[in-house]
Structure 1
Amino acid sequence: MRGKGLRFTLAVALIAGMLAGCSQGGNKEGSSSATASDHSGKTEQVTLKVGIFDRGNAPAGYTATENYWTDYVQKNFGDPNNIKVEFVPIPRTDASDKVNVMMSSGDAPDVVFANTSPLTAYGYAKDGGLLPLDDLIEQYGPNLKKYLGPALDSGKVDGVQYSIPGRRVNTGKYENLIRQDWLDKLGLPMPKTTEEVYQTLKAFKEKDPGQTGGGVIPLGFSLTPASIEPIVWSFIEDGLTDEQRYTLSESLGYPLLLPGHKEAVRFLNKLYNEGLMSPDFSLDKDEKQVFQDVMTGKVGMYSDNLGNSFNATPGIAKVLTQNVPGAKLVPTDPYTNNAGKHLKPEYDPTGFFLMVPAASKRGVEAIKYLDWMAQPDVLNTIMNGIEGEDYTLTDGVPYRIESEETSKRMFNANDIAMITQGQDFGSDEKNWAAAAAAVPKEFRDYVVEAYKMSMTDTIRYANFTSPIEAENKYIPTLQDKYDELIVKSIMTKPGDFDKTYDDLLKDYMASGGDAIKQERTEAYAAMKK
């Protein structure tokens, strides 16, 4: 659903044929062995390659592929099974470029992941690019089956298990954040509507409560889903029919064709032309600039991926309070649509979709690895660290111990735990508390509030059970077209907005949007029969 993540997954789908070509004459399901034997009967160590995000946030002395948890995996899984586990870094930003290189060079990891809908796997599987996993899971994945249960079905294509869907415990997607100390200094209430947001941003610019010396940025904004989606979805009009949701949507994730999107962009155009948002947002495609502006005390309000700003890594809220004594960054849910609802997107209850390329000879090892991870004690250790050193247990919830060593150790634990995003403690309230327990103590109440807000008036992307071929074909191009529409429509003069927006939308539709809309309309009609 998310733009940058989607570019990665669809780019991988487009080269599934390469994988299929590489797999001709290769191993079939279950044909690989954990070790290879020489003539003396001794076993030879094999290598299992596992993809992992490189977020560029590793502390000194660590990397995404060499750290406490990669050592833990090797010692506790690799060594006992005579397997060398090699983690392959995939940059979190522009991941599609790296994956393209790996796939085309034949150096794809044995465990490939995508973080969008199960339809991504279809693009691989239809061309023979994925290893079928049914028999492997049956033989080597009892813990996986127990942990994932019926959710495994969402990884099937035409009844065949081609991917393993990780769990997503918390399905909230974004958070909006505001400088409470700025509101207090100006005597302003927390904004509760979009119009009140506008008035608040104007006051931030005119009064400069952060005393930035003219460098104030009322609304921090970047050319990323985390900035765009919370605003554009909040403008989508109430009362959408199922037909609108299915036929006017697409897997890019933005509600471009739904009623209200144009007015959302018009709102952003107004903010830009009045100097109320980041002036160079079009150059900030990885959020680094907006985060830097937040941490140096220039930004009054912005949006982020849920929980990210309060985490110890990258430490946005923490660094802000260190740089600006008295700064208070708090969650807010102010954007409203025509019915006064705080509409926002919500994730499906699945996280990564884990797949084994057909060219891989390590299907057995891949499933063994994921099954080992699905053991409750292993998963708990990876997610929380060492009891007494990294966390204490209160009412069954692990609370993070604040120390430099723990912060270093846990910086990428969630990326290691590929089969889940979050732990399920039995209720939303406990799950939110657990998510909050992993951040510095002073921010925990804010995290709980942000998670609660993220689940208010949510809407999920409308998935079909069969793929939309036009999406696989056109989405990579349309992502660039959408970015162009956003940038040019926001930056144009207000008097030119309608023509600019309409011309860019026409170009978008001619570049594949019409084809997607037509195919989704046909698929909806077939679904309703």
Structure 2
Amino acid sequence: MKALKRMGSLLFTVTLCFALIVGCSSNSTGTGNSNSGGSKSTTTPSSNQDSNKNESKERVKLRVEVFDRGNAPEGLTVTNNLMTEYVQKNFGDPNNIDIEYVAIPRSEEINSLNVQMAAGTAPDLIFTYNEGAAYSWAQQGGLTDLGPIIDEHGPNIKNYLADSLQYGVFEGTQYAVVARRVNLQKYSSLIRKDWLDQLQLPVPTTTEETYETLKAFKESNLGGQRTIPLSFALAPDSYEPVIWSFIKEQSDEARYLRSVTIGSREYPILMDGHKDALQFLNKLYNEGLLDQDFALDKDKKKKEENFVNGYTGLYMADTGTAFGGGENSVVMTLEGNVEGAEVVPVLPWTDFEGKNRQPAYNPSGMYIMVPSFSERAEEAVKYLNWMAQDEVIQYMAFGEEGLHHDLVNGYPVGNSSEEAQKLLFNSGDMLIITNGIDFGSPEKNNEYNALSVVEKHREIATISREYANKDAVSQPIKFEKPLDSEAKYSVVMLEKYEELLVKSIMAKPDSFDQTYEAALKDFMDTAGNEVIQERTAMYEAMK
């Protein structure tokens, strides 16, 4: 916890340094230590490049952020792989641009970007899902106005994103290109059907039934001595589904006045039911029903490892991820590791009305920006404009027909080949212009999502997505602009909220109230009071 306090202090130092550098920047692009993805060996079909030709004979470097999730196949990295080669050959070379990808650890994204923005070494093209961080950089003069550049060099961006572009406008200025988010389902849960069958139990349909089922899993040690009835990590896909099922207030007014926005997520920290949710998790923890080491698992790797090795009974994850990857999916890996293992979708948590209230995404995705000290804003927009073409989106999402995917009912479906894994392992992090692939309608998107799963799992994967939509609620309409306080305290609030979670969940039952209230007070004193005050004023003005 001392580390969290030190990081909070670091944020303010970084912010101050950043403000100074923005004011004194000499327009240096900075330096990086990432490998270049500039190999010219790619033989994939090129895209339409004529509109992006660089008339200058001078060859320049464009540095682009890429998330590092630690999932690169052996011999490849997120900065040097088959997809970076494709981009270099089909966009970089025709435009006299060397593309250098800069790896940013996904679990440390904002802290890392804050430091690099302050030092003037951030890539020329950066992105984040954290609206508060984006607005904070814009306020401090740290972002380039992309509007005029998009007008000149971004016709494909305008055509593809259309109304989504407005999400990147802060106080009248186009500081970001905001990716389209196609699928709004957020979280899904799977339960071990073979465990239920062994205990002659039905699939639970209420929170109380789920609790009793978890206890039965524990008592029977169905996963061996390392049995973990409920998968859990210090990550939103573990705690958000539980917390939102306990929230008793339904009105938008309550959500405006008693919640905070951190990044792209709404945290109902002052809403009726929030404390009850953490007390329930505290109960599960103290009874050994959720992973005892959750606080050390922010990147969710341990949670997935426990599941595929057969230790976990109830598994919560981002929708679609358990079935993604074809033959290499999480569910397929479990079935390969554990004889007889079988999962089914489940809606484990119910609210006070008996509904499966759960959060959903808003239609806007990641914020893509260019730091003000970059000299490559034009090249960055050209890069996004090149990407916003159907043939480029098709290749970056699916690769080549017959080699990386096959057509099934007219849809490209990954073939789980080694070649596909090498090309597409981080496709979603490279194809930043869209979060998900849009086939023209929700119905067609659902048809595709089913086909992208191995045939034996298509039915349960479809049900899982349908479950993720049930009683799901998106955030209320956003304020006219991001709140200054939420932008200012974005990183600190997340750290303090995670501290609240860890302390409250791990507290002894008889000290829960004291621990929770102390951690909540710390959150409010550090940032929450100022945020709620500004949200209240903004809401009154909006009314």
Give the alignment's TM-score, normalised by structure 1. 0.90
CA distance in 2, matches of 1:14, 1:456: 45
Give the equivalent residue in structure 1 for 2:113: 99
Deviates more, 1:432-441 or 1:498-507: 432-441
Report the alpha carbon displacement of residue 429 of structure 1 after superposing the two structures with TM: 3.2
Q: CA deviation at 1:21?
A: 2.6
Query: How far does residue 209 in structure 1 lie from its aligned partner after superposition?
Result: 3.0
C-alpha contact 1:14 1:123 (8 A) present in aligned 2:
no
- The aligned residue for residue 331 of structure 1 is 345
Contact residue 325 and residue 416 of structure 2 kept, 8 A: no
Q: Per the alignment, do residues 65 and 439 of structure 1 end up closer, same or farther by CA in structure 2, a change over 3 Å counting?
A: farther
Secondary structure in 1 aligned to 2:202?
coil
332-341 vs 503-512, greater mean Cα deviation: 503-512
2:519 maps to 1:509 = no
My pick for the range that moved more, 426-435 or 381-390, is 426-435
Q: Which AA in structure 2 matches 1:433?
A: E
Q: Classify 1:241/1:101 alpha carbon distance in 2 versus 1 (closer, same or farther; 3 Å).
A: closer
Task: Choose the corresponding residue for 1:196, options 194, 209, 213.
Answer: 209
Structure 1 residue 453: Cα displacement: 1.6
User: Residues 374-385 of structure 1 correspond to what in structure 2 (within 5 A)?
Assistant: 374-385=388-399
C-alpha contact 1:422 1:435 (8 A) present in aligned 2:
no
1:144 to 157, 162, 171: 157
Shift of 1:296: 1.2
Are 1:248 and 2:258 an aligned pair? yes
Corresponding residue of 2:538: 523
In structure 1, which of residues 459, 467, 485 is the aligned counterpart of residue 500 of structure 2?
A: 485
The 5 Å alignment of 1:156-305 reads 156-210=169-223, 212=224, 214-238=225-249, 240-252=250-262, 253-305=266-318
The answer to whether the Cα contact below 8 Å between 2:28 and 2:120 also exists between their aligned partners in 1 is no
Is the Cα contact below 8 Å between 1:13 and 1:472 reproduced in 2? no
Per-residue CA deviations over 1:104-127 (Å, capped at 9, x if unaligned) read 33221111101133x543322222
Answer whether contact 1:489 1:500 (CA < 8 A) is retained: yes
Equivalent in the alignment of 1:4: none
Name the residue aligned to 2:66: 52
Counterpart of 2:308 in structure 1: which amino acid? Answer: M
Q: In the alignment, which residue of structure 2 is the partner of 1:440?
A: 454
**CA separation of 1:124 and 1:105: change in aligned 2, threshold 3 A:** closer
Rounded to whole Å, the distance in 2 between the matches of 1:137 and 1:77 is 17
Instruction: Check whether the contact 1:249–1:461 (CA below 8 A) recurs between aligned residues.
Output: no
Q: Does 1:133 align with 2:135?
A: no
Residues of 2 paired with 1:127 and 1:475: CA distance?
Answer: 15
Contact 1:217-1:299 within 8 A present in 2 as well: yes
Superposition map of 1:58-69 within 5 A: 58-69=72-83
CA distance in 2, matches of 1:73, 1:128: 30
Could you say what secondary structure the match of 1:304 adopts? strand
Q: 1:525 corresponds to which letter in structure 2?
A: E
Q: Secondary structure at the match of 1:310?
A: coil
Q: In structure 2, do the counterparts of structure 1 residues 25 and 322 end up closer, same or farther at CA, with 3 Å as the change threshold?
A: closer
* CA deviations over 1:389-417 (Å, ceiling 9, x no partner): 22222333212213222122211111111
TM-score w.r.t. the length of structure 2 is 0.88
The aligned amino acid for 1:249 is: S
Distance in structure 2 (CA, Å) of the matches to 1:340 and 1:273: 26
Contact 1:116 1:351 in 2 (8 A): no
Structure 1 distance, partners of 2:420, 2:15, is 38
Deviation at 1:472?
2.4
Q: Given the superposition, is the C-alpha separation of residues 258 and 299 from structure 1 closer, same or farther in structure 2, using an over 3 Å criterion? A: same
Cα distance change, pair 126–34 in 1 and its aligned pair in 2 (3 A): farther
SS of 2:261's equivalent? coil
2:477 is the alignment partner of 1:449: no
Cα contact 1:34–1:83 (8 A) shared by 2: no
State percent identity of aligned pairs: 46
CA distance in 1, matches of 2:229, 2:283: 13
- Structure 1 residues 23, 456: CA separation in 2 closer, same or farther (over 3 Å shift)? farther
Matching residue of 1:21: 23
Residue 37 (structure 2) aligns with: none
Task: Tell me how large the CA RMSD over aligned residues is.
Answer: 2.3
1:133 maps to amino acid: L
- C-alpha displacement of 1:421: 1.1
Cα contact 1:310–1:316 (8 A) shared by 2: yes
Which AA in structure 1 matches 2:506? M
> Tell me, which stretches of 5 or more residues in structure 1 are unaligned?
1-6, 28-32, 38-42
- Structure 1 counterpart SS, 2:406: strand
The answer as to whether partners of 2:181 and 2:434 remain within 8 angstroms in 1 is yes
Equivalent residue number for residue 115 of structure 1 = 129
Aligned residues: 506
Distance 2:88 2:114 in 1: 27
- Residues 104/120 of structure 1: CA separation in 2 closer, same or farther (3 Å cut): closer
**Higher mean displacement: 224-233 or 398-407:** 398-407
Amino acid at match of 1:247: L
**Residue 424 (structure 1) aligned to one of 418, 424, 438:** 438
The Cα shift of 1:500 comes to 2.0
Deviation of 1:326 after TM superposition, in Å, equals 1.5
CA distance in 2, matches of 1:473, 1:131: 19
Judged with a 3 Å threshold, the aligned counterparts in structure 2 of structure 1 residues 475 and 173 are, in CA distance, closer, same or farther, namely: same
Whichever residue aligns with residue 311 of structure 2, its letter is K
**How far, CA to CA, are the matches of 1:161 and 1:501 in structure 2?**
41
Which residue identity does 1:221 align to in structure 2? Answer: F
Contact 2:177-2:367 within 8 A present in 1 as well: yes
Instruction: Show structure 2 runs of 5+ residues with no match.
Output: 1-7, 30-51
Whole-Å separation in 1 of the counterparts to 2:27 and 2:384: 26
SS at match of 1:309: coil
Shift of 1:14: 7.7
Q: CA deviation at 1:160?
A: 1.7
Would the alpha carbon gap of residues 460 and 439 (structure 1) be closer, same or farther in structure 2, given more than 3 Å must change? same
Amino acid at match of 1:116: N
Q: Partner letter of residue 95 of structure 1?
A: E
- C-alpha distance 475-143 of structure 1, shift in aligned 2 (>3 A): closer
